[in-house]
Chain A
């Protein structure tokens, strides 16, 4: 029987790969001492195309997921203190949150920045802030994650310039920059330029890192914000992967070989409350990405086909009523993320529905992951739910729904997903579909067809008023404005001017990569806002048509 022989071969190939993989030094047995196998059920096994069951043969037996927590508040110096504390405690990854003006490409002295500076993340106006953010930290040995999109190329340029000042080879820099502009137009709305010039900047960075920074992830394609904005699970998956395809098409159109950059793309998903739907979504994500990369985009390198992703629990599911019970929600969502095979995980703090998390709440969130990793035993077996009739059906169903959306976008774009995504942004398809799904859910809650514990049922026990919420020191804003002013006084304005002029010239020519001129501009201490303003003269500014 050929099928039996094939199955046997697949099993053997998996076993060989597993045997070659170093494992963590723990006992892979139950609490009662029963030894368990690394996998159960049928192939294709974890680490085998199309990777439905996981991207690695041994999964968490070799390495647990990365427990990544966000840090960033106040001035660069404040956050630097936090970073050093993380490194002292054995952390190797730094995850940076930026404040709203920085995310929007505007300086701390912008008229709209009032009340926002240093509040939801760190304020970065110039290279000087970047120096302070990473003071006394060896950029060659840490992995840095930076959650920023519209002005990602500028922040990246600052990081590269800083490495150069510190005599760190840029080829040794390792980390991720989110740099996913498409979902900004669809969901998160932190855009600056119109879609096409924004894609140019992203392609520039993909090309630059592929050539000079092999350890850097230039785009983290993010569905998280699409889900938070109200989409359902299939839409989150489909829109995110479609955006991924769009980046692939854009980079290929710029002349790159798919296997030169696709292994460096990564993903970021939401883990919401419907347990099996989420697990099905994660499994479908891997299968779809692998299939499309191989079949449609002609990837040869298996690493181009791997959908590696970071997961965060659903902030939008957290309730302001009885906030303590959010701990239970987060635990279940995190468990779904782990059973779905996430490479990295962020757990929300229970108080996030009301304000930025307090330190205690953030600690509980991290401890939740540690309980899942070390107490529940779920890390012992790869894809433990694979083979369940329900989970397999759910995986197929989510995939089918996603494929319907790809077909729509493909048609909209006349055979190009990239053009289809542009068209969907333009005609309000994404925004409308997301808002409709969100509204459908709210109506179900309102009608009592869907129970949200503590909100429309089981409402006893809420104690408003006695909550301990984080407040940011208002002094932060004044300090940052002082810092920005000092930089502006100290620099040579004529060099700033000429570096910005050169950037404008480069930006106007689509055949020139804008990253080198951006690095020059940040070295001249041009502010983020000045660089954005210069580029706006070429690219224009995006204004959303408020299509409902």
Chain B
């Protein structure tokens, strides 16, 4: 009851002044989707676009969170105010989730902001919620905004890959590099990290990655520039590698600007969001149509073989588009 007593505009005004609970509320509205999310988008759209967006992905247990907490310290020390969106899968059965891998940093430090987002069972929602959440954090002054995922599932890969800079974390001795290749992450990585570099096999992991890069020559996103992603060796227990990682991120950011790729990437990201938004709306409209009386008639006609599948789909498409 009381929770909704503040309008999105009031929340946004409070969020701009740094009130963390107001930021947290805005992010909840974005996550819920619908009109409230649209209202938040309207408020944040214009004010965003400054933040560097970094995607970081790696399998569960890869020490990603420890690495990220080290990286955050380096970023804060460099004078930035980073925010993290940590995406965790929801149970497909119950919709519940344990967001257990929250980055272990001092949450009372106002220079950083960390928010966990569950996939909530339907990937389409995530594809909209994450860009919306990035805009909120960007608009209220966080930079960079880091999206952390566990790198399973296509949407998570897409979400991570739509960042300005995408980091893929692998562990020695676990075949992570091979997995990353399978999941298509190698294609989108701008920087690789071999974490837990003190473990036996870390040089093998590095060699695996080099080999795969040799075979594919270069990543898909950098076809035109011929840039080869660096491989950073990190040990998050000792905190080594975080500074090198940050340098690599900054260097990649400069590279994006120098080669004009930054605009290409952001345009691609906007396009991807637009596509999800439109396809989401169309899917909703389709579901409504199929559930309607007229829709049911079409379905019945199809199953009685009175009309062909293509006729049925034409009729439905006509109706859906007419609904606008």
A523-542 interface bits toward B, Cβ cutoff 8 Å, 1 = contact, 0 = none: 00000000000000000100
Q: Which residues of A contact B65 (CB under 8 A)?
A: 545
Q: Which residues of B contact A214 (CB under 8 A)?
A: none
Q: Least Cβ distance of B169 to chain A in Å? A: 14
Check if A545 sits within 8 Å of B200, measured CB to CB. no
Q: Which residues of A contact B237 (CB under 8 A)?
A: 194, 540
Check if A547 sits within 8 Å of B173, measured CB to CB. no
- Size band of the A side of the interface? 10 to 19
Interface segment out of the listed B94-102, B158-166, B213-221, B283-291: B94-102
Verify if A26 is at the interface (C-beta below 8 Å from B): no
Closest chain B residue to A195 by CB distance? Answer: B237
Q: Which residues of A contact B61 (CB under 8 A)?
A: 426-428, 545, 547
Q: Which of B98, B173, B200, B201 contacts A548 (CB 8 A)?
A: B98
Verify if A414 is at the interface (C-beta below 8 Å from B): yes
Closest chain A residue to B173 by CB distance? Answer: A414
Check if B238 sits within 8 Å of A545, measured CB to CB. no
Q: Least Cβ distance of B236 to chain A in Å? A: 10
Number of interface residues of B (CB under 8 A): 16
Given A414-B173, A426-B61, A426-B63, answer yes or no on A543-B98 (Cβ-Cβ < 8 Å).
Answer: no
Q: Least Cβ distance of A198 to chain B in Å? A: 13
Verify if B60 is at the interface (C-beta below 8 Å from A): yes
Check if B100 sits within 8 Å of A546, measured CB to CB. yes
Q: Least Cβ distance of B151 to chain A in Å? A: 15
Check if A545 sits within 8 Å of B66, measured CB to CB. yes
Q: Which of A414, A426, A428, A540 contacts B200 (CB 8 A)?
A: A414
**Which of B61, B65, B173, B196: most chain A Cβ within 10 A?**
B61
A-B residue pair count with CB separations less than 8 angstroms: 29
Q: Least Cβ distance of B98 to chain A in Å? A: 5
Q: Which residues of B contact A540 (CB under 8 A)?
A: 237-238
A419 to B173, alpha carbons, bound, how many Å?
12
Verify if B104 is at the interface (C-beta below 8 Å from A): yes
Q: Least Cβ distance of A6 to chain B in Å? A: 45
A427 to B100, alpha carbons, bound, how many Å?
13
A364 to B71, alpha carbons, bound, how many Å?
56
Closest chain A residue to B62 by CB distance? Answer: A427
Sample of 20 further A-B pairs with CB below 8 A, known A545-B63, A545-B101, A546-B102: A414-B173, A414-B201, A426-B61, A426-B63, A426-B196, A427-B61, A428-B61, A540-B237, A540-B238, A543-B104, A545-B65, A545-B104, A546-B100, A546-B101, A547-B60, A547-B61, A547-B100, A547-B101, A548-B98, A548-B100
Q: Can you pick out 29 interface pairs between chain A and chain B where the beta carbons lie within 8 Å of each other? A: A194-B237, A414-B173, A414-B200, A414-B201, A419-B200, A426-B61, A426-B63, A426-B196, A427-B61, A428-B61, A540-B237, A540-B238, A543-B66, A543-B104, A545-B61, A545-B63, A545-B65, A545-B66, A545-B101, A545-B104, A546-B100, A546-B101, A546-B102, A547-B60, A547-B61, A547-B100, A547-B101, A548-B98, A548-B100
